[in-house]
Structure 1
Amino acid sequence: MKEKCGLFAAFSTSKTDVIPLVTIGLRGLQHRGQEAWGIATPTMNPFKQNGLVTDNLDQSALVLQQMKSNIAIGHVRYSTAGGTSLSNAQPFSINKKFCIAHNGTVCDLNSVNTKLTGKKPRRINDTSIVGKRLLSILKTNNFDWFKSIELLCDELVGAYCFVILTPDNEIYAFRDTRGFRPLCIGWHKKSKTYLISSESCAFSMLGAELTRDVNPGEIIKISNKGLESHSFSRGERTAHCSFEYIYFAHPSSVIDQTSVYESRRKLGQMLAEMYDLNADVVVPVPDSARPAALGFSEKSGIPMVEGLMKDRYAKRGSQRSFIQPKYKERLKINRWIMPVKSAVDGKDVIVIDDSIVRGISSKAIVKTLRNSGAKSVKILVTYPPIRHPCRAGIDFPTHEELIAYNTSGKNSDIDTINKKVGKSVNADFVGYNTVENLAAGIGKKPNQLCMACHDGEYGVLNRNLSNETSE
């Protein structure tokens, strides 16, 4: 199972009920997972629901009101395998010894399960298997949590963050040594509550402050003694997921001291310098490409207009097509991206998008704009060509799904890819970004980012995964 989810945890030192804080925090992370959500307290009996946090909230509230606790962890789920059954929703209770929730991917799941049971797993669910493996390690190490988590991480290959809640009213949170996935610490002053979140945007919804990021290879413990830190980093280079910055993360978040909004805006400005194109209007693909389109407009002098809008009154209009697990679900969402005819009719249009993965959305958008009277449609993309499967939790697990690979192979130059992808999506022009510009826009060095989906270099996962298929 591969998951790009959202984690949230809260520990109130003033004994304030944190269930409302966790519920709102999960709502603030809804962009990271829209299939299911759950909350666990020290009773070790997690509450879980399918769908969005706001779905059937009246019914959920009746249960949540009975879960009053000054300590809790929560999870919103986006899966790329393993089905959408409520049984796969998190947090999981591991034999009533602790509850665990996970964001990321464990690549060596068979190896972990073999150490646990001597057999390959019959049902693929990495969080549950990792939790049971951790319990086994804890039992042989006198429940020394810091030592046991470090030993567990020595066995894991992949990109991951975990939050754990114990019956002893303790929270543990940890991040892999490469820092693939974001994880941060916050403080809610009014209730005197420590917070852990996948992104800082959830803190903003609560009026809480971002304290700092959880460092790669760091374990955070929160208890009645306060906050403690333990590092198990061995000095590996970081490999922050570059896709977080251009698409997945909320634009208001700050990840590893980098503003997501400002990164996207700067990437748009750099595209304007890279591609000197003439047009009447610049149109962002809603919603993640808006800051980049603004930056492109500022630099190029071409006005930005809202030529495409999501129908937020439709059930699926405000959801994200990329993170829906099935092709038909993606199409349903794309159908609710509507053109503003008056903004594009009779005009040469430059569309700014964060990425082109499968090309499904791009084809639909080009067709929509042409049907609305656009004279020409050019697409500029803030992310370089995606030519390889992601082994770290993003939902493109095979070469055959990727339009850049299907049209141009693994090794074509960017001009060739631009032309072939442009033809495939029926655009007048397609222009991808480069790795160098992407890194500069984010404000990091190329070797601080994971770019395996572009260059096929899976060594950052400490394993040769180039020929493996996903579970």
Structure 2
Amino acid sequence: MSVPAFSWERPDRLEEECAVFGVYGKGEDVARMTCFGLQALQHRGQESAGIAVGDGETIMVAKDLGLVTQVFDESTLAALEGFVAVGHVRYSTSGASASWEAAQPHISAIDDVLIALAHNGTLVNTNETRTRLIDEGVQFRSGTDSEVAAKAIGVVTRKTHHLRSGIRRAMEALEGAYAMVLASPDSLYAFRDPNGIRPLCIGKLPNDRGWVVSSETCGLDIVGAEYVRDVEPGEIVRFNDEGMHSEQGVVAGRRASCIFEYVYFARPDSVIDGMSVYQARRNMGRIIAQEAPVQADLVLGVPDSGVPPAMGYAHESGIPYADGIVKNRYVGRTFIEPTQAMRQLGIRLKLNPLPSVIAGKRLVVIDDSIVRGNTSKKLVDMLREAGATEVHLRIVSPEVLWPCFYGIDTDTRDQLIAANMTNEEMRAFIGADSLAFISLQGLRDSIQANHDGFCEACFSGEYPVAIPESTSRKSFLTKADFAQASGLQ
């Protein structure tokens, strides 16, 4: 049995790269609104935060490492005066790791005009595009694909003297997943890749006071904006004194929205493509209760994303739901390194079982996914130590078999437990009495969005955007594949 490598330094779950937010509103405190919007989207990235504001003449930016509340205070926000703003929270998956240079929004000069760009997603042809731009004399300050996108826009804009043309031509050249917001000194732009992989939605402030763009609808809610619609795949939307203007930047391709948004990434109070994330998760629990029933005394959800499906499982199965796992909501990403002894506590830093609830009980435990399996193993051990007599693990996503190249931090295949073990081997490694994953069709059936086109590459290996061989070669390999390719067998 092949056991994936073990490391406490890497989180044992899929990690979203970032979130974007934008506001256009004359007479509005756009910096403060963006700050609140980013706090609503903080779950999507905790390494850095930034806001750029345009006042009609120029753009000012404030960004740094840390959470939104660590980066921004009253004095910082007061200095960001203007009527157009873009903001960003980041979790790095591409290019440089946590650094000020990699923090966004990225500021770029187009002749004498500044633009600020914030990007959610990952470009798969970054290296090729960067090399081409360098050959044209463009200089780079960071290793991020967001800077590549900004510089690509700038090169065309200088030639055409038209920012929308620069965005459109850049969209034609860029490949991969991107939901971007861009501020010029007097306008806000929002645009999305032709497959619509990463989410992006539009809201309107009350009394025609302005417009808001956000990675999720929860960002609209916090500033009182009414959801209008999503930015369509391949669309460019501009907001300025003339209102909202839309044009098709590139021809839309096969719809491939990230299905994991519903499983884990998005907040449960968000609506994506017309579907409540909370209701989708309830449906997942209901469906896996049909697909993998078991005799038990209680249903528990692993906070936070496992709780709605646990309620759905309980309702469908008739087994009572209980809050048996407590989450410490104040332990997130931190720049304070734990000691080695504290690392050994692992999951206990975030989750703690309630013995008074679970002692002597047969448990069905609902979680969103299993990536490397180490967290699930520790969780099962904790529950048994707390007195559980049986632990039956039910996962509301299919087996994660393939890495993601579109803005999610997945391991190479040799780190993905399901790519290296059978279901029974995984169950034995984790220590559960039984283990079952929702079927891919069951996951699809749980999501009644206003379209049926999803990216499911992490489950199926079918990628909607071709991955360059230089990027994909090692990531596709399991340990056995790598050994064979390296001549070690």
TM-score w.r.t. the length of structure 2 is 0.86
Aligned-pair distance for 1:190?
Answer: 5.6
Q: 1:224 to 1:334 in 2, by over 3 A?
A: farther
1:33–1:76 contact (8 Å) kept in structure 2: yes
Aligned-pair distance for 1:334?
Answer: 4.9
Q: 1:121 to 1:55 in 2, by over 3 A?
A: closer
1:36 pairs with one of 39, 48, 51: 48
* Higher deviation after alignment, 441-450 or 43-52: 441-450
Aligned-pair distance for 1:220?
Answer: 0.6
What's the % identity of the aligned pairs? 37
Q: Which residue of 2 aligns with 1:12?
A: 25
Aligned-pair distance for 1:66?
Answer: 1.7
RMSD of equivalent CA atoms:
2.5
2:299–2:319 contact (8 Å) kept in structure 1: yes
1:65 pairs with one of 67, 70, 78: 78
1 CA distance for matches of 2:69 and 2:390?
A: 40
Aligned-pair distance for 1:392?
Answer: 1.1
Aligned-pair distance for 1:463?
Answer: 4.3
Q: Which residue of 2 aligns with 1:414?
A: none
Q: Which residue of 2 aligns with 1:155?
A: 173
Amino acid across the alignment from 1:234: V
TM-score w.r.t. the length of structure 1 is 0.89
Amino acid across the alignment from 1:12: G
**2:374 is equivalent to residue 355 of structure 1:** no
* Higher deviation after alignment, 443-452 or 225-234: 443-452
Q: Which residue of 2 aligns with 1:411?
A: none
Q: 1:467 to 1:48 in 2, by over 3 A?
A: closer
**2:447 is equivalent to residue 448 of structure 1:** no
**2:394 is equivalent to residue 388 of structure 1:** no
SS of structure 2 residue aligned to 1:46: strand
State the Cα deviation string for residues 55-109 of structure 1 (Å, max 9, x = none). 265xx22111121222111001111242111221100110252111100000111
**2:102 is equivalent to residue 85 of structure 1:** no
What does 1:68-467 align with in structure 2 at a 5 Å threshold? 68-81=81-94, 82-95=96-109, 97-118=114-135, 123-142=142-161, 144-167=162-185, 169-189=186-206, 192-312=209-329, 315-316=330-331, 319=332, 334-408=348-422, 417=423, 419-443=424-448, 448-458=453-463, 460-463=464-467, 467=472
State the Cα deviation string for residues 317-366 of structure 1 (Å, max 9, x = none). xx379xx9xx9989756532011111110000010011111112211110
Q: Which residue of 1 aligns with 2:60?
A: 45
Amino acid across the alignment from 1:133: A
SS of structure 1 residue aligned to 2:92: coil
2 CA distance for matches of 1:52 and 1:333?
A: 21
Amino acid across the alignment from 2:403: P
SS of structure 2 residue aligned to 1:368: helix
1:41–1:69 contact (8 Å) kept in structure 2: yes
SS of structure 2 residue aligned to 1:378: strand
1 CA distance for matches of 2:215 and 2:349?
A: 30
Q: Which residue of 1 aligns with 2:479?
A: none
Amino acid across the alignment from 2:102: N
SS of structure 2 residue aligned to 1:262: helix
SS of structure 1 residue aligned to 2:152: helix
SS of structure 2 residue aligned to 1:110: helix
2:156–2:165 contact (8 Å) kept in structure 1: no
1:16–1:191 contact (8 Å) kept in structure 2: no
Amino acid across the alignment from 2:76: V
Amino acid across the alignment from 1:130: A
Amino acid across the alignment from 1:386: V
Aligned-pair distance for 1:53?
Answer: 1.2
SS of structure 1 residue aligned to 2:326: strand
Q: 1:123 to 1:86 in 2, by over 3 A?
A: closer
2 CA distance for matches of 1:8 and 1:30?
A: 11
Q: 1:331 to 1:27 in 2, by over 3 A?
A: farther
Q: 1:329 to 1:122 in 2, by over 3 A?
A: farther
1:104–1:392 contact (8 Å) kept in structure 2: yes
Amino acid across the alignment from 1:218: E
2:347–2:378 contact (8 Å) kept in structure 1: no
2:106–2:117 contact (8 Å) kept in structure 1: yes
SS of structure 1 residue aligned to 2:181: strand
1 CA distance for matches of 2:250 and 2:443?
A: 26
SS of structure 2 residue aligned to 1:88: coil
Q: Which residue of 1 aligns with 2:486?
A: none
Amino acid across the alignment from 1:357: V
Amino acid across the alignment from 1:157: E
2:300–2:325 contact (8 Å) kept in structure 1: yes
2:65–2:71 contact (8 Å) kept in structure 1: no
Q: 1:122 to 1:166 in 2, by over 3 A?
A: closer
Aligned length: 446
2 CA distance for matches of 1:235 and 1:78?
A: 27
Q: 1:320 to 1:281 in 2, by over 3 A?
A: farther
2 CA distance for matches of 1:467 and 1:22?
A: 36
State the Cα deviation string for residues 170-226 of structure 1 (Å, max 9, x = none). 111101010100000011216712000000011112222111111111111001111
Amino acid across the alignment from 2:30: V
Amino acid across the alignment from 2:428: K
1 CA distance for matches of 2:21 and 2:345?
A: 30
